[in-house]
Amino acid sequence: MSETRTLGVLGGSGLYEMPGLEILGERRVETPFGAPSDAVVEGKLGETRMLFLPRHGRGHRIAPHEINYRANVFALKVLGAEQIVSLSAVGSMREELAPGMLVTIDQHIDRTRMRASTFFEGRGIVAHVSVADPIDDALRRALYAAAVKAGGKVRDKGVYVCIEGPQFSTRAESEAHRKDGADVIGMTNVTEAKLAREAELPFAALAMVTDYDCWHPSEAAVDVATVVAVMKHNAELAIETLRVISQALPDPKASPATRALAGAIMTAPSAIPADSRTALMPLIERYL
């Protein structure tokens, strides 16, 4: 019998409505950082246990800059996720990346300003993890293969620039992001990737192109109606991609991400406050 894997999925509501998925229930989790965006839906697809968390809450109630990213990733960690796949709508910064295409990103540029992107803040413990390569390569390759098999037109590798939101970019900003090397633009992914690394969870992301942002000379500037229309098509590809990758997940134990905190914690164990030890135990226990 094959080994059961647990995959955490950050994405929109409805992704857990797929044929063959056995819903096991909903899990509500309180974390040291507050409540996640919504209840986590637990399901079983073949030999894979899946944990679905809609980052914006059901009904899309939470704006990108308001998401409790720390609670979301922490909740998936304590519920047993071994790796995380993020699904997100993005704008294209390249002519060849047309709406409806998918990108398995491999790099980030962080242009956020106001959000918490570390678990180690205000708790008397300092940790510096490396995010030189924020995406787990084995999981990204499996995600790419799954998206291709699902029938998507997929680009392997790309740079995701993450802005604060909730507003879309100005034309000047859009052009600047293109010059900086961005391939797609969104408002959520980089924060999730940084926290997943601190939680020692391999992370990969499927970016689903919905528009050309506002840089394109012959396309209308991005608006919500355009994004929603393309998202409906992309959601079908995302669901099928999850079905495929659930049968071909890499071994998370082989990922360097599972050892991200080794040597990264600067604070002496004896100097870590007792309440911080308790709160962060799911992350730091093996290093104490």
State the catalytic residues. Answer: 211, 213
- Intra-chain end-to-end CA distance of the chain, in Å: 35
* C-alpha distances in Å from residue 46, one per residue of 14, 100, 165, 198, 244: 19, 28, 38, 29, 11
Q: Is 104 helix (H, G, I), strand (E, B) or coil?
A: strand
User: Letter for the amino acid at 140?
Assistant: R
Strands (E), 12-97: 22-27, 40-45, 48-54, 83-92
CB atoms closer than 10 angstroms to residue 173: 18
Apex CA 170: angle with CA 166 and CA 174, to 5°?
100
Strand partners, 54: 11
Contact 177, 124 (CB under 8 A): no
**Cα–Cα distance measured from residue 46 to residue 208, given in angstroms and rounded to the nearest whole number:** 25
Look up residue 161 and give its two tokens: 């620039």
Look up residue 14 and give its two tokens: 């409805």
Q: Which residue has the tokens 């910064």?
A: 93
Burial of 271-281, coded b for 16+ CB within 10 Å and e otherwise, reads ebeeebbebbe
**Cα–Cα distance measured from residue 208 to residue 199, given in angstroms and rounded to the nearest whole number:** 25
